[in-house]
Amino acid sequence: MSATTLESFLAHEPADMIAGDIRPLPGQSIRSHNPAAPAETVWEGGSNLAHVDDAVSAARAAQSAWARTPMSKRIEALQAFKAIATARKDKMGQLIQLETGKAKWDAHAEIGILTGKLDITLDEGDGSSRQR
């Protein structure tokens, strides 16, 4: 695979998403290299430890609302995520390949595993632990 830049894959620079807000991570203190081609930088950014506390607080605040969300809406959210993962499988596979140094077929298989796990979660068949 040829040298790849972050801009060719991601919609944003490296960032944390907290409570729906994108918070940039400027800097170069964190650098991800492709293990199969160590000269390739996959992405780089800084760190902001304050984001951790903010993310935990946001998750705690969102949990009670999610707990009250009807099962039908939760299912819709998982189905929407599956549709996004399926639509972006090629790009996600390339990112996994760059981040891990895996072979292309193996990186792309991980997306199939992801969507398969969503199918298992959404399954209502015999033996399913999901109840409505």
CB 42 within 8 A of CB 99: yes
Q: What is the model's pLDDT at position 2?
A: 39
Q: Tell me what the pLDDT averaged over the chain comes to.
A: 85
- Structure pTM? 0.74
Helix axes 89-100, 104-122, angle to 10 degrees: 120
Q: In whole angstroms, give the CA distance from residue 32 to residue 42.
A: 5
pLDDT, tens digit, 9 for 90 and up, residues 25-65: 887 788 888 898 888 888 888 888 899 999 999 999 999 99
pLDDT of residue 3 exceeding 50: no
Quickly tell me which residue has 């819709």 as its tokens. 76
pLDDT tens track for 82-97: 999 999 999 899 889 9
Please give the pLDDT value at position 5: 47
Place of tokens 């991800």: 32
pLDDT score for 126: 66
Confidence (pLDDT) at 45:
84
* 9 — pLDDT class (breaks 50, 70, 90): low
pLDDT value of residue 104: 92
State the average pLDDT over residues 60-84.
Answer: 94
pLDDT of residue 113: 95
Unique residue bearing structure tokens 């203190």? 29
